[in-house]
Each structure stands twice: as C-alpha cells, then as structure tokens.
Amino acid sequence: MNHYRAIVVGGGQAGLSASYYLQQQDIDHLVLEKHSLTHTWRSQRWDAFCLVTPNWQCSLPGHPYSGDDPHGFMKKDQIIDYLDAFIAKVNAPVREGVAVQRLTARPEGGYLLNTSAGDFSADQVIVASGGYHTPIIPTLAERLPSGIQQIHSEQYRNPQALPEGAVLVVGSGQSGAQIAEDLHLAGRKVFLAVGDAPRCARFYRGKDVVDWLAQMGYYDIDVDHHPLREGVRDNTNHYVTGRDGGRDIDLRRFAEEGMQLFGRLESLDGSVLRFANDLAANLDAADAVYNRINASIDKYIAEHGIDAPTASRYEPQWRPEHDATALELEGSGITSIVWCIGFRPDFSWVDAPVFSGRGYPGHKRGVTSLPGLYFLGLPWLHTWGSGRFSGVARDAEYVVAHLGAPRNDHR
C-alpha cells in the first residue's frame, strides 16, 4: 500500500494551495484529483464567464495576479491561464484521474483511502474537494415535456448551444442572473424565476464596491465574528457581473427590455408552471441589500473624511403590476430550461463522525474534531474569501501549519 504523511483529496486551487505549503514544510504528501487539474474551470463554466471580483483579489500562495489590469475581471481563458501558471509553479505531486471512493479512519491510526487506482494510506488527510458537488434539479423536472431541453448551469455554454426559442432560467443567484443576462444580450426571449438572492453595486462613489469593502475590513471578518455566525454559510451570493469591465445586474431593467420575471418556482400543474407570489418582495429585498451596502460605504466615507463622489440611492424605475404566478408551457415558446439553483455537498464517501445532520462537516477553521482530518476550500470555511482566490491561501497555510505542528501543541 502507498503510504504518505498527508494526502490531499482534490486538485483545485484549494488542494494545490495546500500542496504549496506542505512542500514548504517538507511534508511527504500526494494530491489525488478525480478529473484533471482545472477541469471545473474548463468544462463547467459558460463561454462568457468572468470573475465577479477584481483581478487584484487573485492571490494564490506565491502567485498574486501580475497582469496589467488589476481592477479588471479575468475572463474564462485568462482564469485558466492564471491557474496553469500556478500549477506549473507549485509542481504538486498529483495523481489525476483518481477518484477517492471511501475514506475511513484506521484502527492503528491514520486513514485508509479506497480509490479507483487502489488503496492509499496517510497519517493525515486534507479534504479539498470543495462544497459544490451534486447539481440541484427539482423532481418536477421529470414531468416536464420531453421536447424541452433541460440543463444545469454547469452545462450551459452559450445561447447558440440551446434550441431556438424562449428559455426559462430558474434561479437568480450569480449564475442564474449572469446566464439570464447572457441570453438576454443575445436577443433570446427569457423567462426568469427570481429567488431571494441579494444584489450589490459594481461601482459606487468612485470605486469598485469590492475595493471599498476590502478597505473597510469586511473580507477579514471571520465566521465567528460575523453577525450571522455559521449561518452566513447558507447565504446566497450577491449577483453582479464583471462582464465588459463590470456593471450592476438590474433585473428590473431587464424586465423593461422584455425579460419576463416570475417569483420562486413552486410546482408543475399539468402543463402549467406555478410560481410563488413573491416577485415584488424578492426584488425589493435585493434592492434593500444593495442600498444597505452602499449606506455602509457612505458611513465609512463620512467617518474617515474621505473625498469621494456624492452618495446616491437606488430607486426602482420598474415594478411588477402584479405578481404573475402561472406560466402555460404550451404557447410560451419555451424550448429549454436552465436550472440555476445551486449544488448540494456530497461527502458520503467520508466515513467519519464529523458531519452535521445536513451533511456539512463540523470544523474550526478547517480543523475537525477527528485528529488528522481537515477540510479546505469550503465557502466561509473561515472568511468570505475561503472558497475563492482571495482567501484560500490564508486557510491553506493555517491548516498545513496545524497539520505539521507537534500533536501536543494542539491538545
């Protein structure tokens, strides 16, 4: 059996960041990647995909963004180039195409990993496979007409890849809002089921909102000091875009331009889709978050006497006359549906008593109660940036320092 002091499961930016620090500490290790490196970025992002955070926030360990557009937003191919350079720099000991099928604690200590390439053992394991595993598609999808093409957001590539006709996008988080915009800009008729996702401004009072929030220390707030505590991990990301240099996504403006908005999708009754009577409330709530974030920036500017452009407040120019709650599929022209309602974590292969009833690992900054078992790359593992290019380095450094420290230092 192949034995290592540490095995990292997952070769994404989190797993490679762990390898960077493991190499610095000269810890014998192996990275196991189910697919190929950058697989997710190459095969599960649409063609027009770009970052929603500015390039300067890309700061993987030993590999900060070094391009000539720090306040721009890298597109898909540029992101892959950035990651390829990081992969070459780290030169991690990776086995690609190896799926870990089961992870169990060994009675004599350490862990056993049953994989598609045989068994491995390790004193310690870092699970860096992320938290987005199983695409969520509601059961009502099974009863939709067979002539309607259905895909999940991870399968969406571009408007031309869908059949001609109208498109129903379900979900208004980051992916749903951006995919709806992509289709809308291509001239497709779009129906959008709007959920409770919040939104934020792209630019406000002379700077990117991300720049203001970084200056205000928001990205350094850890989960234990956030007002929502661990509940923040359930938050839906704010919708905004870095497309064409960055701009707001305003669903009300899309509605004025012909996109048809509904509330949350609830059921299918024969050939009629039923929606909740909450469109107006969802739009108002998203705008309230938008204005609240801007108000916090206003307060910071005032308290620090910063010279900045005049404050403003978003006031909606379009409101639904009434919440449409039914959509007849026959006659709507809908030929495809894009499900943008997220993913479920799947750690069923990890046989360890560290999970909550919802299947989420219990941990303190990635360190579980089981000696030698760690998690990395999860949303809000420690801070807002934990699952992103901006914060994963800090998390990886912490986890590897804990892993490499003498055991009695952490009793």
| pLDDT (tens digit per residue) in 53-67 | 999 999 999 999 999
Identify the CATH number of the domain in which residue 328 sits.
3.50.50.60
Of 288, 320, 339, the position where a domain reaches its end is 339
On whether both 312 and 277 belong to a single domain, the answer is yes
Full strand arrangement of the beta sheet holding 272-275 = 265-269, 272-275, 326-328
pLDDT in tens, 245-274: 999 999 999 999 999 999 999 999 999 999
Contact between 216 and 298 under an 8 Å Cβ cutoff? The reply is no
CB 247 within 8 A of CB 301: no
User: Does one domain contain both 269 and 387?
Assistant: no
Phi, psi of 68 (to 5 degrees): -100, 15
Please give the sequence-ordered ranges of beta strands (E in DSSP) within 116-202, or none if there are none: 118-127, 134-135, 149-152, 166-170, 190-193
Q: What is the pLDDT of residues 4-16, one digit of tens each?
A: 999 999 999 999 9
Q: Are residues 243 and 316 in the same domain?
A: yes
Domain assignment of residue 319, given as a range = 136-339
Last residue of a domain, one of 295, 323, 339: 339
* 200 lies in the same domain as 282: yes
Mean pLDDT value across residues 324-349: 94
Cβ atoms of residues 251 and 192 within 8 Å: yes
Q: Which domain-ending residue is among 339, 361, 392?
A: 339
Nearest to 202 by CA among 242, 231, 236, 259: 242
- Give the pLDDT band (50/70/90) at residue 202: very high
Q: Is the pLDDT of residue 336 over 80?
A: yes
Please give the order of strands across the beta sheet that includes 166-170. 149-152, 334-339, 166-170, 190-193, 260-262
Does one domain contain both 334 and 365? no
- Asked whether the predicted pLDDT for residue 408 surpasses 50, the reply is no
Does residue 410 register a pLDDT over 70?
A: no
Q: What domain count does the chain have?
A: 2
Both 353 and 396 in one domain: the answer is yes
| Cβ count near 120 (within 10 Å) | 22
- Tell whether 17 and 81 lie within a shared domain: yes
Judge whether residue 91 has pLDDT over 60: yes
Q: CB of 153 within 8 A of CB of 338?
A: yes
- Are 298 and 306 a contacting pair, CB within 8 Å? no
Q: Please, which contacts does 246-250 make with residues 24 or more away whose CB atoms are closer than 8 Å? A: 246/54, 246/72, 246/73, 246/202, 246/203, 246/208, 247/202, 248/199, 248/201, 248/202, 249/177, 249/178, 249/181, 249/199
pLDDT, position 407: 57
Average pLDDT in the 145-157 region? Answer: 96
Highest mean pLDDT among 94-103, 130-139, 315-324: 94-103
If asked whether residues 186 and 322 sit together in one domain, one would say: yes
Output phi, psi for 28, to 5 deg.
Answer: -60, 125
Q: Are strands 373-375 and 203-204 parallel, antiparallel or unpaired?
A: unpaired
402, 312: one domain: no
- What b-and-e string marks burial along 257-281, b requiring 16 or more CB atoms within 10 Å of the CB? eebebbbbbbebeeeebebbebbbe
Indicate whether 409 pLDDT > 80: no
Which residue in 2, 39, 23, 3 sits closest to 91, CA to CA?
23
User: Which residues touch 244 (CB under 8 Å, ≥6 apart)?
Assistant: none
> Residue 80: pLDDT above 90?
yes
Residues 190 and 334 in one domain: yes
Tell whether 76 and 207 lie within a shared domain. Answer: no
Indicate the pairing of strand 190-193 with strand 260-262: parallel
Query: Dihedral, CA atoms, 349, 351, 353, 357, nearest 10 degrees?
Result: 30
pLDDT at 203: 98
Same domain, 224 and 236: yes
pTM as predicted: 0.94
Residue 178 has pLDDT above 80, yes or no: yes
Tell which residue, 397, 360, 312, has the closest CA to residue 14.
397
